[in-house]
Each structure stands twice: as C-alpha cells, then as structure tokens.
C-alpha cells in the first residue's frame, strides 16, 4: 500500500479518544504530548476545549505552505491507495471509503488552520528518537501510527530509543497505538515482545483493548507507566500488572 514512505496523515480527535482510551474528564490538569502527530486534528480540538496539548512531528517547519503541499499530496495519494484495501480494514468507525475520505479531509483542513496560526507554539518540529523537551515535561505522551506499525522500515534500536525518550519527557505514562505491523496481517509487531522484555525491569507495561479499529487487528494499545507511583499526578487510570499475550 505505501512503499517505504511514512505518510504525513492525520487522524481525527474522535479517533484519538478511542485509539488511546482517553477520558476527557481525567485529562483536565494534564499536559499531553502527541508525538509524531502529523496532520492530526487531536491537538486542534483539545486546544479549543481548553486542554494543554502539544503536537510534535519531524515534518513541521516554519513555512505553513510546505506543510499544506505535503498534506494535500499525501491525502490524495493515500486515498487512491485505500481503494484497494477493503479486505484489510474493518468498517465500523467509518461506514465506507467515502465517509472516511470526507472525515480525513476535514481533519487535515482543521489541523492546517490551527497549525498556520500556532507553529512553534502548539506545533513543534521534533524528530524521534531525540526530543528537545526537559525531563517530565508532560504527564502523558501519545504516539500513533509510527512505532510497531512501520517495523519494516524502522529498526529495533529506533523503537527502543524512541520509547525511552518519550518516557524521559513523560511524568506518568506513554501510550502507543497500534501495536500491529503494517505487513503482519493483523499480528503484533515482532518488536513488541522484545520491547516489553527490555522495559519491564523499569516500567509497568500493559496491553489494553481499545474500542477503535480500522486496520484489521489494530484494536489494542501499549501503555507504559512509571513504576513506584502510588497515584497518577493528573488522574490517569492506573494499571498494576504486566500482561503480555501474543496475537
């Protein structure tokens, strides 16, 4: 579907709430980082509702027109690519391809309007595996549709370094969605088990079911929480066991 490119695409606010099991009532005092946020409208909508969210992506830059070109190009190309994908996706959140296209177009246009006005404020250029934020800058760090999904083009070291870096800048928790591989026919990424083994001595790791699925099999996220915390500083749900079950 996508060759070796990682698309600059944007999912919507409603998708983010479901992908990451987010409850807005629990996030009022949270600082949130959306890492590799792309053209997602999550930050835009959260900001309008008064939440503190920063979006980071390696393609953000000072010239908004550049982003507009990339976004509209990737949108058109990806939508064409999706026409042959019917057997790889679950229709549910979207009724059909036409509905998905209309939603994604709305998302990236909302993103772009906000981005134009707040580059370097809410939208900051950052390239994993290094982030220019001090330790514990955010309560919650989200990462969607990069790690695990693109395990055919991003190696294990990049995964481990990126996750450790997101943990460094988070106070409480990192959530990653999805945890399947783009070529894995709905199976977990082959890196998942090793990541859990490597991080288990220092963190709580938990695979959580989510009520969102578009790519078939992509109905779980990985939560990584800091150990030795009695309670979350911003009221996030706590998890207390490491559960690793292979798909």
Q: Residues interacting with ligand SAM, by CB under 6 A?
A: 6-11, 36-38, 40, 57-59, 126-128, 144-146
**Are 16 and 42 in contact, with CB atoms under 8 Å apart?**
yes
Q: Is 174 helix (H, G, I), strand (E, B) or coil?
A: strand
Q: Considering the complex, state which of residue 130 and residue 245 has its C-beta at the smaller distance from ligand SAM.
A: 130
C-alpha of 37 from chain center: 7
Neighbours of 34 (CB within 10 A): 25
Element (H or E) spanning 222, and its range?
A: strand 220-226
Q: Which residue is nearest to ligand SAM (CB)?
A: 38
Q: Considering the complex, state which of residue 42 and residue 204 has its C-beta at the smaller distance from ligand SAM.
A: 42
Strand-pair partners of 207: 222
Q: Can you read off the two tokens belonging to residue 73?
A: 């190009």
CB of 240 to ligand SAM, least distance (A): 28
Element (H or E) spanning 14, and its range?
A: helix 13-19
CB of 202 to ligand SAM, least distance (A): 23
CA distance 99 to 94: 6
CB of 146 to ligand SAM, least distance (A): 5
Q: Considering the complex, state which of residue 127 and residue 226 has its C-beta at the smaller distance from ligand SAM.
A: 127
CB of 112 to ligand SAM, least distance (A): 13
CB of 32 to ligand SAM, least distance (A): 13
Q: Using only C-alpha atoms, what is the Rg of the chain? A: 17
CB of 102 to ligand SAM, least distance (A): 16
Q: Considering the complex, state which of residue 165 and residue 232 has its C-beta at the smaller distance from ligand SAM.
A: 165
Minimal CA–CA distance to 167: which of 192, 147, 137, 189?
A: 137
Q: Considering the complex, state which of residue 195 and residue 204 has its C-beta at the smaller distance from ligand SAM.
A: 195
Minimal CA–CA distance to 75: which of 145, 8, 11, 123?
A: 8
**What one-character-per-residue DSSP string does 137-164 give?**
-EEEEEEESSTTTTTTTS-HHHHHHHHH
Q: Considering the complex, state which of residue 213 and residue 232 has its C-beta at the smaller distance from ligand SAM.
A: 213
CB of 2 to ligand SAM, least distance (A): 9
Q: Considering the complex, state which of residue 30 and residue 149 has its C-beta at the smaller distance from ligand SAM.
A: 149
């Amino acid at each position: 579907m996508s060759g070796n490119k990682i698309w600059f695409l944007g999912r919507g606010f409603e998708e983010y709430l479901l992908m990451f099991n987010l409850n807005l009532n629990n996030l009022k005092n949270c600082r949130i980082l959306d890492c590799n946020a792309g053209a997602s409208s999550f930050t835009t909508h959260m900001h309008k509702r008064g939440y503190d969210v920063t979006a980071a992506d390696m393609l953000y830059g000072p010239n908004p027109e550049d982003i507009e070109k990339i976004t509209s190009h990737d949108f058109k190309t990806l939508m064409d690519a999706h026409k042959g994908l019917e057997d790889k996706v679950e229709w549910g959140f979207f009724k059909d391809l036409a509905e998905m296209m209309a939603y994604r177009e709305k998302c990236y246009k909302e993103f772009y309007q906000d981005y134009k006005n707040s580059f370097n404020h809410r939208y900051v250029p950052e390239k994993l595996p290094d982030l220019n934020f001090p330790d514990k800058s955010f309560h919650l760090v989200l990462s969607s549709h990069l790690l695990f999904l693109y395990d055919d083009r991003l190696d294990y070291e990049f995964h481990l370094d990126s996750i450790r870096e997101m943990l460094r800048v988070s106070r409480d928790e990192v959530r990653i969605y999805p945890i399947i591989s783009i070529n894995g026919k709905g199976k977990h990424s082959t890196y998942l088990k090793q990541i859990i083994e490597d991080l288990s001595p220092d963190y709580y790791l938990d695979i959580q079911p989510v009520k969102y699925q578009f790519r078939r099999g992509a109905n779980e996220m990985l939560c990584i929480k800091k150990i030795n915390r009695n309670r979350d500083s911003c009221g996030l749900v706590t998890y207390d066991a490491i559960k690793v079950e292979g798909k």
